[in-house]
Every structure is written in structure tokens, then in C-alpha cells.
């Protein structure tokens, strides 16, 4: 359980991380792939102290899906080496807060959100200039794709036909960098088939935006399938941190 403290939490996290890294190595060896995906450890529901321990174990990329929780943790575990990836449904009125700490947003699913993020980064740059802080890097944006055939399987995202317009809009936004695409395998679907479709959508995006090669896919239960499909970024939570409390 999330609230329970292991007597040696650091050793527990180190063991879990080692097992996840071994799975990644094995999947890479099986596919003959030479390029290693970035492991984003999803720390939602777990305390900032865990983020600190993960950083001490060499983790540089952490993922969060709620702004309030992420903003508080990013302030508490303020390690300049950490990159915060925002991976959850995002309301436009939270854009200003998110761009203050986030390196990337993996869940860009509509044009209104692109507009809000663009404005928010511009404001954040102004604020930093006024306070003498260094400018932030352009916000890395992923178009989240809904791979479900029906609404019950949906895990969020834009439908595939909306992806080209969204990608172009991000690419045109001065403060944003189009990183690529992201998806969560639909509920009840075969992740192999879903991730193969994501790879095809990614190829379309790359044909028009050659730099936007990133594919954010794969979680604790399906990271091997995501690696087969060419994932460049994995988002792994429970197999590193432990089981989360069930959502109410
Ligand atoms: C929680 C979450 C993850 C991590 O899921 P696990 O099954 O715990 O590995 C990955 N991606 C998104 C979008 C999430 O919300």
C-alpha cells in the first residue's frame, strides 16, 4: 500500500528498479534494438521522499498526472537533474502551473490546450526574465492518441484523424517542441495491436515533422510490447513504486 513505509525503502526501490531495467534489457535484446528507451518512473500517489530516493538511484525522469500533486512534489524534491513529465488529462487553467516545473506534457489532446500551453510558456519566460532566472527549455509536447475502437476502451487522447492538425499546431507554436506521440493501450485490447497502430501513426507524424520521433508507450504491464513497437519513452509506475491505492 502507498502509505506503508518499507523499513528500507531505498533498497526496495533499488530492487524494483533493477527488475524493471532487466526486463527492458531483455526486451531490447529480443527485438535486436540498439536504442534504449528513456524510463520515466511514474510517482503519482507516492511521496516526494520517494522521488528523492529515486534520484539518488540514478532516475532522472519522473511522471505525474495531477498538477496539484506534481507542483507540490516538484517544489519539495527540487533536484535540478530531475525532469518532470506531465502525463495526465490537463485542464487549460492548469497550464500556467504545469509549465513552471514540467519538462514535457505527454497528454496534449486538443488545440485549445496547445494554445494555453503556448501562452503559459511565454508568460513563464517573461517571469523568469524579470526575476533573473535562466529561461526554461521549450516545452516538449506529445500528441496523446486515443487507440480505442469504442468509447468504453478509451484512456483519453485525440482520435487518430485529429493527430496531423494537432502535430502541426504544436510544431508552429514558438514556445513548444513537438516531441512525438503518446498512448495508453485501450482497456480490454491487445496491447501489441494497439502499439503497432501507434507506431504507424508515429511514422505519419515523422514524415511531416522529421524531428518528432518520440513514442511514449508502455507501462508496468505492457512495456515489453511497447519496446517491440519502438517506444522511446516508457512510463512505469507500480512495478517500481508498488501498488497504488485503488481509485475511488
Ligand atoms: C499511472 C500511469 C502510468 C503508469 O502505470 P503503471 O501501470 O503503474 O506502470 C503510465 N501512464 C499513464 C498515463 C498513467 O496515468
Which CATH architecture group holds 9-239? Alpha-Beta Barrel (3.20)
Closest approach atom of ligand 1 to CA 182? 13
The answer on pLDDT for 248 being more than 50 is: no
pLDDT band at 246 (very low <50, low <70, confident <90, very high): low
Q: What is the length of the chain?
A: 248
Task: Please indicate whether residue 41, judged by its CB atom, sits closer than 6 Å to ligand 1.
Answer: no
Mean of per-residue pLDDT scores for the chain:
94
The CA–CA distances, whole Å, from 82 to 53, 87, 130, 133, 238 equal 12, 15, 24, 18, 19
**46 CA distance to ligand 1 middle (Å):** 13
CB-based contact 238:220 (threshold 8 Å): yes
Task: Please indicate whether residue 220, judged by its CB atom, sits closer than 6 Å to ligand 1.
Answer: yes
pLDDT recorded at residue 79? 85
Phi and psi dihedrals of 39, rounded to 5? -90, 115
pLDDT in tens, 62-100: 999 999 999 999 999 878 889 999 999 999 999 999 999
**240 CA distance to ligand 1 middle (Å):** 11
pLDDT recorded at residue 188? 87
- E-strand ranges in the chain read 38-42, 61-64, 83-86, 102-108, 139-144, 176-182, 214-216, 233-236
The answer on pLDDT for 1 being more than 50 is: no
pLDDT recorded at residue 6? 65
pLDDT in tens, 139-182: 999 999 999 988 777 888 999 999 999 999 999 999 999 999 99
- Tell whether pTM > 0.85: yes
pLDDT recorded at residue 4? 56
Gap between the Cα atoms of 83 and 85, Å rounded: 6
The full set of domain ranges for the chain reads 9-239
Mutate to test the pocket of ligand 1, among 62, 219, 240 (most ligand atoms within 8 A of CB): 219
The set of cell numbers assigned to 81 is: 537533474
pLDDT in tens, 189-245: 999 999 999 999 999 999 999 999 999 999 999 999 999 999 999 999 999 999 987
**220 CA distance to ligand 1 middle (Å):** 7
Phi and psi dihedrals of 112, rounded to 5? -60, -30
pLDDT band at 247 (very low <50, low <70, confident <90, very high): low
pLDDT in tens, 180-189: 999 999 988 9
The answer on pLDDT for 3 being more than 60 is: no
Task: Please indicate whether residue 87, judged by its CB atom, sits closer than 6 Å to ligand 1.
Answer: yes
Residue nearest to atom 11 of ligand 1 (CA): 235
**205 CA distance to ligand 1 middle (Å):** 24
**Closest among 180, 210, 220 to 198, alpha carbons compared:** 180
Task: Please indicate whether residue 184, judged by its CB atom, sits closer than 6 Å to ligand 1.
Answer: yes
The answer on pLDDT for 2 being more than 60 is: no
**8 CA distance to ligand 1 middle (Å):** 24
Among the ranges given (29-33, 49-53, 211-215), the one the predictor scored with the smallest mean pLDDT: 29-33
**219 CA distance to ligand 1 middle (Å):** 6
**143 CA distance to ligand 1 middle (Å):** 17
Task: Please indicate whether residue 236, judged by its CB atom, sits closer than 6 Å to ligand 1.
Answer: yes
Amino acid at each position: 500500500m502507498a502509505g506503508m513505509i518499507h523499513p528500507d525503502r531505498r533498497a526496495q526501490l533499488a530492487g524494483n528498479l533493477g527488475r524493471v531495467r532487466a526486463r527492458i534489457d531483455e526486451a531490447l535484446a529480443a527485438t535486436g534494438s540498439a536504442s534504449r528507451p528513456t524510463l520515466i518512473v511514474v510517482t503519482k500517489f507516492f511521496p516526494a521522499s520517494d522521488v528523492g530516493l529515486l534520484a539518488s538511484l540514478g532516475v532522472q525522469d519522473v511522471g505525474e498526472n495531477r498538477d496539484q500533486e506534481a507542483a507540490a512534489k516538484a517544489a519539495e524534491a527540487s533536484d535540478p537533474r530531475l525532469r518532470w513529465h506531465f502525463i495526465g488529462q490537463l485542464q487549460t487553467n492548469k497550464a500556467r502551473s504545469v509549465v513552471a516545473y514540467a519538462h514535457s506534457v505527454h497528454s496534449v489532446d486538443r488545440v485549445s490546450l496547445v494554445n494555453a500551453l503556448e501562452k503559459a510558456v511565454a508568460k513563464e519566460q517573461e517571469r523568469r526574465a524579470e526575476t533573473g532566472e535562466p529561461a526554461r527549455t521549450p516545452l516538449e509536447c506529445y500528441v496523446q492518441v486515443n487507440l480505442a475502437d469504442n468509447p468504453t476502451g478509451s484512456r483519453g487522447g485525440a482520435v487518430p484523424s485529429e493527430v496531423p492538425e494537432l502535430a502541426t499546431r504544436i510544431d508552429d507554436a514558438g514556445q513548444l517542441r513537438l516531441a512525438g506521440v503518446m498512448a495508453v493501450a485501450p482497456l480490454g485490447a491487445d496491447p501489441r495491436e494497439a502499439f503497432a497502430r501507434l507506431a504507424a501513426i508515429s511514422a505519419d507524424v515523422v514524415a511531416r515533422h522529421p524531428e518528432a520521433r518520440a513514442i511514449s508507450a508502455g507501462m508496468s504491464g505492457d512495456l515489453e510490447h511497447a519496446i517491440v513497437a519502438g517506444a522511446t519513452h516508457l512510463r512505469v509506475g507500480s512495478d517500481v513504486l508498488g501498488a497504488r491505492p485503488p481509485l475511488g
